[in-house]
Amino acid sequence: MKFKWKAPDPASFSAWSDRVEKRLRRCILILVILLVAAQAAMQSPIVRSWLSPTERAEGNLYDGGHG
C-alpha cells in the first residue's frame, strides 16, 4: 500500500493550531491559579508545616547523616 502525499490544508492547520493554543492558554491559566493558591496557602503556619518539611527542620544542625 502506497501513501500518496498531499499538501496540508492551511484552513485545517489554522483550526488545529487554534485548538492547541486554547488548550495551552487554559493550562497556563490553571497553573497560575494553582501557583497563587499554593503561595497563599504557605502564608498559614499550619499549612506551611504540612507542605514544607524543611520548615520543621529550621534551626536544626545538619549532621550529614553520620550519626
pTM > 0.85: no
CA distance 35 to 25: 15
Q: What is the pLDDT of residues 11-65, one digit of tens each?
A: 888 989 999 999 999 999 999 999 999 999 989 888 887 877 776 677 766 676 6
Closest CA to 51 of 39, 62, 59, 65: 39
Are the CB atoms for 41 and 49 separated by under 8 Å? no
CA distance 2 to 54: 61
CA distance 25 to 29: 6
Q: pLDDT value at position 59?
A: 72
Alpha-carbon Rg for the chain, nearest whole angstrom, is 25
